Copies of this chain bind each other. A is one copy, B any other.
Amino acid sequence: MPSAPRPARPTLRDVAAAAGVSKSLVSLALRGDDGVAPGTRDRIVGVADQLGYRPSLTARTLKEGRSMLVGVVISSLDNPYHTEIVASVEDAAERHGQSVVLAHGSRERGRLAERVQQLLDLGVDGLVVVSSWVPDDVLVAAARRAPVVMVGRTARPVSGIDSVNNDDERGAALVVQHLTARGHERIAHVNGSRRPAGLARAAGYRAAMAAAGLSDLARVVPPDPAALAALLDDDVTAVFARNDVEACDVLDHAVDAGLRVPADLAVVGYDDTVLARRVRPALTTVQQQRDVLGARAVALLRERLDGRNDDVHEVLEPRLVVRASA
């Protein structure tokens, strides 16, 4: 069924013509400038409504130099932790009348770099990077064009960009403390990641194990069935995985191997994603303050826009969430 062709949308000039005043006056009236006579204002607003006038954000952006757009760069949309961060950034942005432009890069450096460029060309007022895969030099270059805040960790501090992340070392320590309090001594850490958050969690694990006088059973491997078998050979009674997704893998393999969790093997994750509540046994895990991460990221962007010029790195306290798996 053919529908009516799209009508040209009315502009300020149309409203001005219909109201019999100048464009400037319409602009002033619509923005609520108090130098406009109340009667005139009401009449103009009425005409605008009636015409269905909506200001062009594009024109406004060109004029003002601010787009009210926040770019969000994310490695991939398949890890719930990342999408949950995106949601929290969007909530925070929306509270300030900003919109989120999303770019995901399939965990591929070249593509991520391109997408960053694309967002900058779009004129975003700031960039929230939720991916440790964006090369440092890309971040630095981006920061020359717009404020950049990293949600999570970079390998080393990158000059000119802000960051907000949870304290991964501390989170790992909370896990180890919980497991030792439950009587575990053979506690393995399965973590094949070379990403900054992964390394920090491994470091936190090692430090906590050392502090407890226990042997380091960190394994730099993916959470596959072979890895699990090797751990069992090693009399491991508890596994701390580097995140919820991999903890679920461990859980799956344990079930497949006929183990009871947590009786035969305790399993702990990290991130407290939707997965953690969804699987059985429900996952004991570490909760990053997601909403705070998003809100702070947006706030840091605004501070930069308002002129702050020194780098800020915020670190949030993680919290252990105890469920059935450990």
Tell me the A residues contacting B by CB distance below 8 Å: 1-7, 9, 54-59, 61-62, 67, 69, 72, 76-78, 80, 83-84, 86-87, 90, 94, 99-104, 115, 117-123, 143-146, 159-160, 245, 248, 251-252, 255-256, 274-275, 278-280, 309-311
B102 A57 Cβ-Cβ under 8 A:
no
Q: List 16 A-B contacts (CB under 8 A).
A: A3-B143, A3-B311, A6-B145, A7-B144, A56-B62, A72-B102, A76-B87, A77-B83, A77-B84, A77-B90, A99-B118, A99-B119, A99-B122, A102-B102, A251-B280, A275-B278
Roughly how many angstroms separate A58 CA and B57 CA in the complex, as a whole number? Answer: 9
Q: Which residues of B contact A4 (CB under 8 A)?
A: 144, 160
Q: State the CA gap A78–B4 with chains docked (Å).
A: 36
Q: Are B144 and A6 in contact (CB under 8 A)?
A: yes
CB contact between A55 and one of B80, B103, B121, B144 (< 8 Å): that residue: B121
Using A59-B62, A62-B62, A101-B101 as known contacts, list a sample of 9 further A-B pairs with CB atoms less than 8 Å apart, ordered by residue number in A.
A3-B159, A55-B121, A57-B121, A69-B101, A72-B102, A101-B102, A255-B280, A256-B280, A279-B280
Contact of A99 among B94, B103, B252 (CB under 8 A): B103
| Nearest residue, chain B, Cβ from A84 | B77
Residues from chain B with a CB closer than 8 A to the CB of A78 are 84, 87, 274
Distance, CA A92 to CA B141, complexed state (A): 27
Complexed CA–CA distance, A76 and B88 (Å): 11
CA distance A100 to B115 in the complex (A): 11
B118–A90 CB distance below 8 A: no
Identify the closest chain B residue to A147 (Cβ).
Answer: B6
CA distance A94 to B102 in the complex (A): 11
CB contacts (< 8 Å) of A69 on chain B: these are 101, 122
Give the complex CA separation of A248 and B274 in angstroms. 12
